[in-house]
Amino acid sequence: MLELTTHRIAVTGGAGFLGSAVVDGLRARGCRDIVVPRKAQYDLTQEAAVQRFFDVERPDVVIHLAAVVGGIGANRANPGRFYYDNLMMGALTMEYARRHGVTKYVGIGTICCYPKFTPVPFREEDLWNGYPEETNAPYGLAKKMLLVQAQAYRQQYGFNAIFLLPVNLYGPGDNFDPSTSHVIPALIRKFVEAKVLGASEVEVWGDGTATREFLYVDDAAEAIVQATERFDGADPVNVGAGFEISIRELASKIAALTDYSGRIVWDSTKPNGQPRRCLDVSRAERLFGFRAHTDFDEGLKRTIEWYTRTTARKALAV
């Protein structure tokens, strides 16, 4: 077991949605020597900046959360950027971590790494049995290369790199920008705005049949901290809540929780994305003791409350 309090820990993306929760989780463990590189100072897609970061900051544990992410629309609009930036950040940070003798590197993948038609529940053994869903394949494949690199470096250099595969996250502090947000914040914003403006209907992409699994951000952070402490294996590990919900049911649930009573209109000319998503999460529980504990409805209520309290008024004023 890695005693985190004795290490200097770098959390790339540590000022972001998931990263902030991970930093809070580390501090709750008693960690005080935490480094959060900011893009203005260290652009992790640039080799010179990555080299300078390791030369100056000298972390001995790296949790790599920095990523360029978004929903289906953002992935379709930016496939080249999503591929290149995510690939370079992962490859460079792991390579310079190795060169600097870092004790442990924690790579964070995505459920988008899985093949489009992976049998449900997704098992880690199925990760290479097909091509990812087309709308987010460049992003998913770029993140998947972290696993290839981690396993290759472990084999050749004895480098301790692990790879985690989280499902879609949600919670307070999420990204509610309609051009880049994922489905839960996008729906929350749509329904809150529709209620305030008195709109009679809300349009949602797809036909509602696709299913997803969602993990509350604080649970995801706890999983990452636990894995950093307790897991040192080469195999990828799913991180999720182990349940499945259709987008149609999700939309109805969020409409009810935001007290919106209008009509939901499905735009079936827009893509559904991957048909189904739900993880087998038994490996995470077995290897480092993680199990999600936040009730989904409670997590949605907290997210809606945070949005209406901090963001909705500004969004409606734009």
Within this chain, do residues 122 and 29 fall inside the same structural domain, yes or no?
Answer: yes
The pLDDT mean for the chain works out to 95
Output the furthest CA–CA distance in the chain (Å, rounded): 61
Within this chain, do residues 77 and 191 fall inside the same structural domain, yes or no?
Answer: no
Within this chain, do residues 198 and 312 fall inside the same structural domain, yes or no?
Answer: yes
Domain range spanning residue 199?
183-209+245-273+307-317
Within this chain, do residues 115 and 193 fall inside the same structural domain, yes or no?
Answer: no
Q: Does 130 map to a domain?
A: yes
Q: Does 299 map to a domain?
A: no
Percent of the chain with pLDDT over 70: 98
Does the pLDDT of residue 317 top 80, yes or no?
A: no
Are the C-beta atoms of 49 and 43 separated by less than 8 Å?
A: yes
Within this chain, do residues 229 and 137 fall inside the same structural domain, yes or no?
Answer: yes
Residues 65 and 19: their CA atoms lie apart, in Å, by 6
Nearest to 120 by CA among 264, 286, 244: 244
At 277, the pLDDT band (50, 70, 90 cuts) reads: very high
Residues 27 and 292: their CA atoms lie apart, in Å, by 20
Q: What total of structural domains would you count in the chain? A: 2
| pLDDT in the model for residue 130 | 97
Q: Does 144 map to a domain?
A: yes
Residues 248 and 202: their CA atoms lie apart, in Å, by 13
Q: Does 178 map to a domain?
A: no
Lowest average pLDDT, out of 38-47, 58-67, 140-149, 264-273, goes to 264-273
Does the pLDDT of residue 220 top 70, yes or no?
A: yes
Within this chain, do residues 236 and 250 fall inside the same structural domain, yes or no?
Answer: no
CATH classification of the domain holding 265: 3.90.25.10
In tens, the pLDDT along 303-314 reads: 999 999 987 666
Q: Does 25 map to a domain?
A: yes
Q: Does 9 map to a domain?
A: yes
CATH classification of the domain holding 290: 3.40.50.720
Partners of 63 in beta bridges = 11, 106
Within this chain, do residues 47 and 162 fall inside the same structural domain, yes or no?
Answer: yes
Within this chain, do residues 158 and 198 fall inside the same structural domain, yes or no?
Answer: no
Q: Give catalytic residue positions.
A: 139
By DSSP bridging, strand 104-108 and strand 201-205 are unpaired
Residues 191 and 247: their CA atoms lie apart, in Å, by 14
Are the C-beta atoms of 13 and 66 separated by less than 8 Å?
A: yes
In tens, the pLDDT along 40-68 reads: 999 999 999 999 999 999 999 999 999 99
Residues 249 and 187: their CA atoms lie apart, in Å, by 12
Q: Does 300 map to a domain?
A: no
Q: In Å, what is the CA distance from 200 to each residue of 36, 203, 207, 312? A: 45, 10, 19, 19
Are the C-beta atoms of 174 and 21 separated by less than 8 Å?
A: no
Within this chain, do residues 148 and 187 fall inside the same structural domain, yes or no?
Answer: no
Within this chain, do residues 260 and 219 fall inside the same structural domain, yes or no?
Answer: no
Nearest to 228 by CA among 288, 169, 279, 171: 288
The answer to whether the bond into 121 is cis (omega within 30° of 0) is yes
| pLDDT in the model for residue 181 | 87
Q: CA dihedral defined by 38, 307, 250, 274, rounded to 10 degrees?
A: -20
Q: Does 258 map to a domain?
A: yes
pTM: 0.94
Within this chain, do residues 149 and 15 fall inside the same structural domain, yes or no?
Answer: yes
Percent of the chain with pLDDT over 90: 91
Within this chain, do residues 62 and 73 fall inside the same structural domain, yes or no?
Answer: yes
In tens, the pLDDT along 225-246 reads: 999 999 999 999 999 999 999 9
